[in-house]
């Protein structure tokens, strides 16, 4: 929910990021673009994930870069504390 509200992602995009291990805006703000793309590509290799999220071609680097940039505007503002 934080990714949706703070970064402005769709519910589906936010869910994909969480499934790929990116669950807060601060983490998204500091992730390397190539690493994020690799994680999404790896996750979408499974047939059952393609049905929900679509092909990796939907997640061009320019799109992922906009997500990172949106989270970078004020990183950590809504970051949840880590235990």
Question: Per residue of the chain (83 residues), what is the pLDDT tens digit?
Answer: 678 877 788 899 999 999 999 998 999 999 999 999 999 999 998 888 888 888 888 899 999 999 999 998 864 554 444 44
Amino acid 2: pLDDT: 78
Residue with token string 């906009």: 66
What pLDDT, on a 0 to 100 scale, did the predictor assign at position 82?
A: 46
Q: Which helix (H) or strand (E) holds 42?
A: helix 33-43
Give pLDDT, residue 77.
54
User: Tokens 């049905």 — which residue?
Assistant: 51
How many other C-beta atoms can be found within 10 angstroms of the C-beta atom of residue 39?
17
CA dist list (Å): 1 to 34, 35, 62:
24, 22, 23
Specify the pLDDT at position 52.
85
């Amino acid at each position: 929910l934080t990714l949706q509200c703070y970064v402005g992602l769709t519910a589906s995009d936010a869910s994909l990021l969480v499934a790929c291990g990116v669950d807060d805006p601060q983490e998204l703000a500091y992730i390397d673009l190539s690493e994020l793309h690799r994680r999404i590509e790896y996750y979408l290799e499974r047939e059952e994930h393609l049905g929900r999220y679509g092909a990796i071609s939907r997640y061009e680097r320019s799109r992922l870069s906009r997500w990172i940039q949106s989270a970078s505007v004020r990183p950590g503002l809504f970051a949840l504390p880590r235990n």
